Amino acid sequence: MTPQQYCQQKTAKSGSSFYYSFMFLPKDKREAITALYAFCREVDDIADECTDLSIAQTKLNWWRTEIESLYQGKPQHPVSKALVQPIKTYHLEAKHFIEIIDGMEMDLNFNRYQDFEQLQLYCYRVASVVGLLSAHIFGFTNQKTLQYALDLGMAFQLTNIIRDVGEDARRNRIYLPLDELAQFDVREEDVLQSLESDKVQKLLNYQIKRAEDYYDRALSELPIEDRKSQRVGLMMTAIYRTLLREIQADGAQTVLNSRISLGALHKFWLAFKVWFHN
């Protein structure tokens, strides 16, 4: 199995909405973004699946060393080998890969976030930085596109957090800011025990509004001259925003007890429509 095949398998197996957008890219960009996404999956799986914190920390530290080795031309892991050409072609900086690892490390050290400022740092590291690297792969001519990529990454991560509230709670994780729980008179126990209520509904609608604001902000920041090159981000926006609106339409509190998702054909159709119109 080649490094590229390994990354392709890793990405396809995840079932991510991103996968359906990558299909529309030319081969070199598709392989580059698939390798980047495979890297994210590798380090995210460590944070999610390792129950022994010391082992998880050791694995993340190994990846820090592996990124150094990658930029010294001595990669060992299939994902790192698949990234060799993309980091040269698209001028991807090592510090951004390290920031992603820093974000995953936060999952080892925190299972609660006191306020949005603290959560924002987490989202920046695990999602906005990925958006930044992706923007370089897709291509841009206007520097303002980088701010679009940062805010779009934030919108995606906030959508993930809303979708996964129940799933995260069953792992004793609450990504909703605790001061906002208090603002809506929702207790941690209400979330952990998946207790649906009007208060929880209002809390989650508040989170949805914030995510929608980030989508609006990002789209307003994308320069017209870069819309075509950044189409994949627009495709992912169509998929994620449709998911977010379905969550709200179903009653946001239902995410406590079920995971709402879009079907594969629906995702592909949304991606195709954006590709066709841009």
Domain extent listing, the chain = 1-109, 110-278
Q: Is pLDDT above 90 for 259?
A: no
Q: Which two tokens stand for residue 196?
A: 């649906």
Share of the chain above pLDDT 70, in %: 96
Rounded to an integer, the average pLDDT of 227-237 is 92
Q: What is the pLDDT of residue 247?
A: 93
Q: What is the pLDDT of residue 230?
A: 94
Domain 1-109 has CATH 3.40.50.2020: no
Mean pLDDT of the chain: 92
Task: Scan for tokens 């920390």, then name that residue.
Answer: 57
Question: Residue 174's beta-bridge partner residues?
Answer: 112
Confidence band, pLDDT 50/70/90 cuts, at residue 200: very high
Q: How far are the Cα atoms of 10, 79, 134, 254, 266 from residue 240, in angstroms, in the given order?
A: 21, 26, 16, 17, 12
May I ask the CATH class of domain 110-278? mainly alpha
Q: What is the pLDDT of residue 20?
A: 66
Spatial distance between the Cα atoms of 263 and 60, rounded to a whole number of angstroms: 33
1-109 and 110-278 share one CATH topology? yes
Q: Which residue has the higher pLDDT, 269 or 30?
A: 30
Spatial distance between the Cα atoms of 39 and 42, rounded to a whole number of angstroms: 5
Q: Which residue has the higher pLDDT, 202 or 13?
A: 202
